[in-house]
Amino acid sequence: MSKITSKLQVTLPKALAERYGLKPGDEIQFEPASDSIRIVIPMRRRRQLSVEERLRLFDAATARIEEAQKDWQPAEPPAKRRFRREELYQRGYSGRH
């Protein structure tokens, strides 16, 4: 856990800085997020994925979707209704508008 200094500065834990590739002098942005504060890394500092990494992630996501859809069955048609659509608009009316 980090503490706020008397100059309102915060120390970022080393593990998080390494994970997101942040180095001394890099800029980060603080944004309000309901009852918390969100730290946003500007786009230019975010780690750029290589084409191979992007394709690997895309293929993995495609495989997850295909696996999830493998056992998918369409829903059964709804049971026969005991009313007509037009009746829905007439309920509650006494005949006068």
pLDDT tens by residue, 3-28: 899 999 999 999 998 888 888 888 89
- Cα separation, 71 vs 24, whole angstroms: 50
pLDDT per residue over 75-86, tens digit each? 887 788 777 777
What pTM did the predictor assign? 0.40
If 0-12 CB within 10 Å is exposed, 13-18 middle and 19+ buried, where does residue 69 land? exposed
